[in-house]
Structure 1
């Protein structure tokens, strides 16, 4: 067993935010505070950078047993109309709070399964969004499609609204793995939607793959990668499977824990896929993405503008990210807010004219400082700070946590900053945990009982 994997394969956050959701302090949060922080951030940046918008479309026709997303399984498509109405009502509630029309720099449709919705319903949704917003000069709009139900009409309708990115969930082509995760998906379906997207004019087509799934082997990973390379996607997300079966509403069942690869085996699966992708001309971006050199994600990494938020890695940096829909999270840098997770509760509150806020967090100065360090590490693999940024006690504690990584040859650091070596890239999450004061406080005062919160880092 690789001693570093054994040492660092612990539960930990994925750091799409800091503080992470389980450590939000809800005592400082209120609707009034949220609106204040939103309006302040919007007024300062809408005319320059614009805003980002994430829309959560939670419905799926069947349950994929690897999925930890917030979703509802149904074949009843009558749910589309009232949910779109709720989304547009929520959007209008936000627009009524803003002093001018939002400029949409980034727009993403996620799920669930956005292609569960009929093209006409997506057209209705986007028509309503753009009635109260205008695109920026160089917008970045993307969406997630299921290869089994994405039609050419889906792709065309969204393209006509300015969408140029699409990601298709592939996961794995091995029939044994597909059966275990309840995701039967022929290669021919993926090939068809990829060809359609390219013919229509999409400039960034992504395939989402997952390693660490039940029954995966190096042979199955190799076969999946080879098939993926045949279709030449512009970028590839190569995600580590997050096993969190304890979460409420989670569908991660239908296989046993012992059916999953061990930490060592999982690392071999990743390295096998990474080596094949890099040999084919893809460059690793951040923690779990690969891109061709012509893709905007690669260019953002090269220019130092790569960003990470609740949507994952992105090329767009805006101070305001609004999340619409059940469970969506909004971010205005100095505050976070999450919507009601349960669809009926979300819909009822919105349709009564109320922002459907479930919880949130107002970041203090230390939160914002640590957030910047963690963001730099996740996006650039390094970070810098001013001497004196830490108190003597804080620096002593941080140094103790970083020293193990240094001794293991994973990074270098001094009084002004840190740089992760290539050998440390697999452990970015662990390195960020050294900076996570709220997590470390909880572990010191409550105990390291984080197993029921986060997935394993390896």
Structure 2
């Protein structure tokens, strides 16, 4: 079967696999605070190691392609009340944990974290960091909009221990930036990149998207040429997820403006070829890194991990997420916070953890989660030969068709993704996804695989 036929066959709606089980398949209801606390304490254990994610949801302008949980406003008076709520939530976790946490990772996401003033970010972060010890080789990173990230932002965050930043670019073409309402220039990106390096940031990531409205191979070539001149250590090269039933702002452009199917996948393959020719290595799904970057080294060592924060060189079994809509992971359970900012603040300020839903992982869930993680991070999965377990055996049965098409090789105790199969990682994961096959969606739920 040729690539054209494979794309036609496997370009179906699939989950994104930021977790297993994926959010639509979490158990109905929410773990009680008692159950969540028990799972948190189990993950905290003797190591006391945690990762922290802070969701800062405000943006001054709406990027029409974006599916994130955000609030559009130019009123910066929202900053302080939101920060106080986040600190109140953190105080509840500090009271829950029997000892001083050891912080392995800290990431600021959004929204636009640099919507917040440098002074308010300093207050928020210094209030959290005074309550933790730092793990050896810790990594702090933040998402940066090149149009709103000032030199003062970079200075303050660097002084607080940040060495990574991820710059949201998507594409450099003015006509594409206009149709997705993204207000930035190449000069903005260059200035943030160069100033960050002057200040001692050691890992800079560029977020790029293929499949945007109006995007052509010429745009990909131009974007990658500009990337090559600035040479960030990491690239996230994401597929545009068209889900207007979830993100109505995506109706700002016509579906006829979108490259789809084989045309869309060709944009990725061109981008991948250009990145690899510039010395970048493909890391898991959608990511690239230069040799020497910690993601590259983790991929080489087989220690790469994927969490709600994306790919990371560390496996931390307790990931606490603070802020509206954020999702925490204790390895044995997931919980999500209130999505509406006002309700989140009211509940937290009343001394209540703002949980709205979650999932307690069964033994089967944990086993399948590890296999799916291994496929996404190492292009393979292993188990004890001769006894894959009922759920995995069912998944391997579903993979037989993919094996016949050359996407995987299945051997006793081992699953290997082939070079031909790498574009179809999410399809491979979906075959292993017992929850999906127990309750297949009847309506539109996920974006296309390609």
SS class of match (2:273)? helix
Is the CA contact (8 Å cut-off) linking 1:69 and 1:250 kept in structure 2?
no
Is the CA contact (8 Å cut-off) linking 1:12 and 1:457 kept in structure 2?
yes
Instruction: Give how far 1:397 is off.
Output: 3.2
Is the CA contact (8 Å cut-off) linking 2:388 and 2:413 kept in structure 1?
no
Specify the alignment match of 2:53 in structure 1.
Answer: 54
> What RMSD over aligned residues (CA atoms) do the two structures have, in Å?
1.3
Cα separation, partners in 2 of 1:307 and 1:250, compared to 1, 3 Å: farther
Any idea what the Cα deviations from partners look like across 1:237-273, whole Å, max 9, x if unmatched? Answer: 10111111111x6532310112110111110100110
Is the CA contact (8 Å cut-off) linking 2:30 and 2:356 kept in structure 1?
no
> Map of 1:273-352 to 2, 5 A cutoff?
273-352=271-350
Instruction: Give how far 1:175 is off.
Output: 1.6
Is residue 16 of structure 2 the alignment partner of residue 14 of structure 1? yes
Any idea what the Cα deviations from partners look like across 1:125-155, whole Å, max 9, x if unmatched? Answer: 0111012112112101100000001011101
Specify the alignment match of 1:374 in structure 2.
Answer: 372
> Map of 1:180-219 to 2, 5 A cutoff?
180-219=179-218
SS class of match (2:288)? strand
Instruction: Give how far 1:401 is off.
Output: 1.2
> Map of 1:21-170 to 2, 5 A cutoff?
21-27=23-29, 29-46=31-48, 50-170=49-169
Specify the alignment match of 1:453 in structure 2.
Answer: 445
Is the CA contact (8 Å cut-off) linking 1:172 and 1:224 kept in structure 2?
yes
Is the CA contact (8 Å cut-off) linking 1:206 and 1:233 kept in structure 2?
yes
Any idea what the Cα deviations from partners look like across 1:391-419, whole Å, max 9, x if unmatched? Answer: 5x656633331111111111100231100
Instruction: Give how far 1:27 is off.
Output: 4.6
Q: TM-score, normalised by structure 2?
A: 0.97
State which drifts further: 338-347 or 400-409.
400-409
Distance (Å, rounded) in 2 between the aligned partners of 1:408 and 1:417: 18
Any idea what the Cα deviations from partners look like across 1:402-456, whole Å, max 9, x if unmatched? Answer: 111111111100231100011110000000001100001112xxxx52x522111
Is the CA contact (8 Å cut-off) linking 1:173 and 1:187 kept in structure 2?
yes
Cα separation, partners in 2 of 1:229 and 1:442, compared to 1, 3 Å: same
* Unpaired stretches in structure 1, ≥5 consecutive residues: none
Cα separation, partners in 2 of 1:106 and 1:396, compared to 1, 3 Å: closer
Distance (Å, rounded) in 2 between the aligned partners of 1:134 and 1:210: 36
SS class of match (2:436)? helix
Distance (Å, rounded) in 2 between the aligned partners of 1:388 and 1:352: 53
Is the CA contact (8 Å cut-off) linking 1:59 and 1:113 kept in structure 2?
yes
Is the CA contact (8 Å cut-off) linking 1:67 and 1:250 kept in structure 2?
no
Cα separation, partners in 2 of 1:406 and 1:350, compared to 1, 3 Å: same
Distance (Å, rounded) in 2 between the aligned partners of 1:263 and 1:170: 23
> Map of 1:396-411 to 2, 5 A cutoff?
397-411=394-408
Is the CA contact (8 Å cut-off) linking 2:30 and 2:357 kept in structure 1?
no
Distance (Å, rounded) in 1 between the aligned partners of 2:117 and 2:377: 36
Distance (Å, rounded) in 2 between the aligned partners of 1:388 and 1:153: 59
Instruction: Give how far 1:184 is off.
Output: 2.9
> Map of 1:411-426 to 2, 5 A cutoff?
411-426=408-423
Is the CA contact (8 Å cut-off) linking 1:16 and 1:310 kept in structure 2?
yes
Specify the alignment match of 2:430 in structure 1.
Answer: 433
Distance (Å, rounded) in 2 between the aligned partners of 1:254 and 1:441: 36
Distance (Å, rounded) in 2 between the aligned partners of 1:269 and 1:453: 24
SS class of match (1:182)? coil
Distance (Å, rounded) in 2 between the aligned partners of 1:26 and 1:331: 17
Any idea what the Cα deviations from partners look like across 1:160-208, whole Å, max 9, x if unmatched? Answer: 1111000100101112211111113210000000010010000001111
Is the CA contact (8 Å cut-off) linking 2:30 and 2:355 kept in structure 1?
no
SS class of match (2:122)? helix
* Unpaired stretches in structure 2, ≥5 consecutive residues: none
Instruction: Give how far 1:387 is off.
Output: 3.1
